[in-house]
A and B are shown apart, each in its own frame.
Chain A
Amino acid sequence: MINWLSQVFSVTQFNLRTIPQRRGSAIAAAVGIAGVVAVLVGVLSIAAGFRAAMTVSGPDDVAIVLRSGADSEMTSGLSREDTRLIADAPGVARTADGPLASAELFVIINLPKRSTGTDANVPLRGVEKAATAVRGDIHMVAGEMFHAGRDEVIVGQGAARSFAGLDVGKTIRIGQNNWTVTGIFRGGGGSAESEIWTDAAVLQPAYHRGDSFQAVHVKLASPQAFQPFKDALTSNPQLEVKAMRQSDYLADQSSMLTTFIERIGVYIAALMALGALFGALNTMYSAVAARTCEIATLRALGFGSGPIVLSVMFESLALALAGGAGGAAIAYFAFNGFKATTINWQTFSQVAFSFSVTPQLLISAIVWAAAIGLVGGLFPAIRAARLPIASALRET
């Protein structure tokens, strides 16, 4: 056994040392695999970043209530009476000021993108006083909170970065009203950083909404309080609403785009992997062909076919991993943290996010590279092991 291992080791070492002699084809194979990995990681980092922007960290104790039948805040509608019943339902956290519930309006306004100057759908949310306490992690990074009852807005930092005119002190014109930007905030979970916030009581008349709302965001007393809260709402004959955990709602709202990007990413990477596999096979077949005589000599000296097979596969694996690591590095430096905005068709509004090259993505990249390397080495390795010694030795 020790002998066998030392055979594997010495033949592999011998193979790896000859790589510089076959620089051209070895580099070509590694570059091909680097390409696969870079594209896989690059495209999937878009989906990962988008998903990260749409999820919340922290305890899962925020719930969203919509009219039953609505699939997003945009298509929902609730009366003032509904929102009161929801706020008073069991399970909602309370402070001295009353229940931690914010009845909100969600509309879209058109603002030009900073990058292109073309109109984009920017979400404008009317919130109640409890909104920041419900989200819990909202921090002003510039300026101050809007004042209740005034035509003032605060802007998420993603929106401030992406859309023209959203700077502290400036005014934006929406319909027939001018609104002053008083501050920029971060946090809030989900796509809050892509939104503009104002007082719901000011937004209602500006949008001819009467005394109606679209959603109620509530903070629950604990994550476990969700089920009784939901049951209380669905069993209340005065209400026709549905309650969801914020995390589930957000995951649902981002599913269409992330699935789409992931599907395209994997589809393209699979095709690309096929192309790279052919490149790797070519390289390893010519590596074996170039060493026909040496391999036959080793076999004649008593090296078994097992070590020969393994050594060729190790060589292929080494090339693949080198290429894969290179590709992952390229993807990381080119894409990680890249800031972008896109439209989320499910909410019909813009979401600002950063591409995110996650550790899972890097691991899956290395797995792909290793798989290509192993398959690319297997067949040439078998050929090497099956070489008839006598005739191979005769080759020059």
Chain B
Amino acid sequence: MKYLHLVWSNLKRRKLRTSLTVLSIFVAFVLFGLLCALKEAFTAGVSLAGADRLIVRHKVSLIMSLPESYGARMANIPGVKDVVHMTWFNGIYQNEPKNFFGTFPVNPEDFFKVYPEYVLPEDQKEAWLKTRTGAIVGRTLADRFKWKIGDRIPLMSPIWQRQGGEAWQFDIVGIYTGAKKATDTSSFFFRYDYFEEARARGKGLVGWYTVRVDDPNKTEQVAKAIDAEFANSPYETKAEPEGAFAQGFVQQIGNIGTILIAVLSAVFFTILLVAGNTMAQSVRERVEELGVLKAMGYSSRLMLALVLAESCLIAAVGGSAGLSVAWLIAASGSPVPSMLPVFVLPERYLLIGVGIVFALGIVAGILPALQAMRLQIAVALRRHV
């Protein structure tokens, strides 16, 4: 501890350079944090997928509908616990397609059985069961449009016209939250019976089913049983675990996601390289002083420790500030809610970030530190002249 003062004085001797170096490390780690949040956003569906859930869709494509009557048949298949159907409603708010969010008609009771991660207070749940035009919205979505319970929200859908053609009217009766931090709370759910009664066409058809199974180890068998049940019917199905379904979407985004992330990683390491070089340079400039310290009796090992402490301190100050700012940005919500509904920075990335901070400190400091350790006093002192 008594050497801290010495390290500190060394950092203070060129205040400007030290602050600029700290600032560039800071920027690098802001970038790192955002990069991790972005990666998480791309793969959110996969990490949130329930291990005990299957998605059952039309075999040809997700855009084709399935009969609503399939739900009861699926519920009878051994191993199936709960079934809920969903439909892509494509609600548009205020006639502005940019106000995009997921909108789905569901049966409320089935919905909460299959998706326990959506948490809704008991009284709001009752209100939803009582209100035919009731809808529940996620916390993120409610915040985005400043909606509150009791608001009446008109939505248009390019797919589902209401009989008579005017806008669909919904009353917000509840605001749900996520059981986990990363749960997507950006969707809008409303009652299927209201939808079924008022839609102009496609009655009796739903988009896809989510099935909850008794035993997460048997998802594959149950999926096969479901597909076999509907084989050779006009509506053949494809059942797959929710994780595989979500993974499929990530694959659909394709190498763009990978490339974005690769480019950003390259950037991150470039900044570190530049900052590391400056840190190393500032030690090299002080060789003669280090020689003086050695002449005064500082041991080689102590020299090594002092130089490393200095570079680690710079890295730690810049890195921790950068990670905190990235965390704050992520905590304040997604910058593009329509494309990336989930935007969070999980703690494990912060830990990885801290690891990189110290790796940076050590890598940038180690060469000059070894130099300092091996320094021959006579040589070092002679350099001054």
Q: Give A residues with C-beta under 8 Å from B.
A: 24-25, 28-29, 31-32, 34-36, 38-39, 42-43, 46, 69-72, 74-76, 107-110, 113, 115-116, 118-121, 174-176, 207-208, 256, 260-261, 263-264, 267-268, 271-272, 274-276, 278-279, 281-282, 285-286, 338, 340-343, 345, 348, 350
Tell whether B60 is near chain A: CB-to-CB under 8 Å. yes
Other-chain residue from B251, B256, B274 in contact with A116 (beta carbon distance below 8 A): B251
Q: What residues of B have a CB within 8 angstroms of the CB of A350 in the complex? A: 252
Contact (Cβ within 8 A) A342 B335: no
Contact (Cβ within 8 A) A342 B263: no
Other-chain residue from B23, B266, B335, B336 in contact with A39 (beta carbon distance below 8 A): B266
Given contacts A25-B278, A32-B274, A107-B63, contact A119 B28 (CB under 8 A): no
Q: What residues of B have a CB within 8 angstroms of the CB of A69 in the complex? A: 156, 158, 161
Chain B: minimal CB distance from A56 (Å): 22
Contact (Cβ within 8 A) A282 B236: no
Q: In this complex, what residue of A is CB-closest to B98?
A: A256
Chain A: minimal CB distance from B334 (Å): 11
Contact (Cβ within 8 A) A119 B236: no
Chain A: minimal CB distance from B288 (Å): 13
Q: In this complex, what residue of B is CB-closest to A69?
A: B158
Tell whether B292 is near chain A: CB-to-CB under 8 Å. no
Tell whether B270 is near chain A: CB-to-CB under 8 Å. yes
Pairs of residues from A and B, 10 with the lowest C-beta to C-beta distance, nearest first: A35-B270, A275-B27, A278-B24, A75-B158, A118-B251, A343-B252, A279-B274, A28-B277, A32-B274, A108-B61
Q: What residues of A have a CB within 8 angstroms of the CB of B90 in the complex? A: 75
Tell whether B302 is near chain A: CB-to-CB under 8 Å. no
Chain B: minimal CB distance from A202 (Å): 15
Interface string of B251-267 (1 = CB under 8 A from A): 11111100110011011
If over half of B's interface residues share one DSSP class (helix, strand or loop), that class is named, otherwise mixed; here it is helix
Other-chain residue from A25, A31, A118, A342 in contact with B270 (beta carbon distance below 8 A): A31
Given contacts A75-B159, A175-B60, A256-B339, contact A278 B255 (CB under 8 A): no
* 15 CB-based A-B contacts, threshold 8 Å: A39-B267, A71-B97, A72-B158, A75-B158, A115-B254, A121-B63, A207-B64, A275-B27, A275-B31, A278-B27, A279-B271, A281-B20, A282-B278, A286-B17, A345-B339
Q: What residues of A have a CB within 8 angstroms of the CB of B158 in the complex? A: 69-72, 75-76
Q: Give B residues with C-beta under 8 Å from A.
A: 16-17, 20-21, 23-24, 27-28, 30-31, 34, 38, 59-64, 90, 92, 97-98, 100, 156, 158-159, 161, 234, 236, 247-249, 251-256, 259-260, 263-264, 266-267, 270-271, 273-275, 277-278, 281, 335-336, 338-339
A281 to B336, CA, bound (A): 33
A122 to B69, CA, bound (A): 28
A132 to B255, CA, bound (A): 31
Contact (Cβ within 8 A) A35 B266: yes
Contacts beyond the supplied A43-B260, A278-B23: 7 A-B pairs with Cβ under 8 Å: A29-B274, A42-B263, A118-B252, A268-B264, A279-B20, A279-B24, A282-B21
A42 to B267, CA, bound (A): 11
Contact (Cβ within 8 A) A113 B254: yes
